[in-house]
Amino acid sequence: MDWSAIGKRIRCQREYMGLTREQFAEQIEVTPKFCSDIETGAKGMSVPTLCRIARTLRLSTDYILYGRRGQEDPEPVMRVLETCSAQERTYAEQLLKTFVAAMNMKDNEKAPL
């Protein structure tokens, strides 16, 4: 096991989600120090802790352990939306609908008659 690479993947996703180490540690039920040890690769983790990390970070355990993206990993847009509040998701949905409608109009203008 490459604990350093595992820790880096965990830290990158935690930071991407805007979680402090303290917030993350609380959510996965470990101390901030142990969380730091995991992220630096100084220590490994138990299977239950790995599962809590995967659930909290919305990543597959396969990705955390091996860096392989599987079918259960969310798409990039979904990863962004999952970090938004309900109000932000509603606004993003409206923007996406407007964008898709505009793209459809553009495609229809190019279609031969």
Q: Measured between alpha carbons, how far is 7 from 64 in angstroms, rounded to an integer?
A: 8
Q: Are 92 and 84 in contact (CB under 8 A)?
A: yes
pLDDT tens digit sequence for 31-45: 999 999 999 999 999
CATH of domain 1-73: 1.10.260.40
pLDDT tens digits along 58-73: 898 989 999 876 555 4
101 is written with which tokens? 């409608």
Sketch the domain layout of the chain as residue ranges. Answer: 1-73, 74-113
CB neighbours of residue 9 within 10 Å: 19
Backbone torsions φ then ψ of 18, nearest 5 degrees? 75, 25
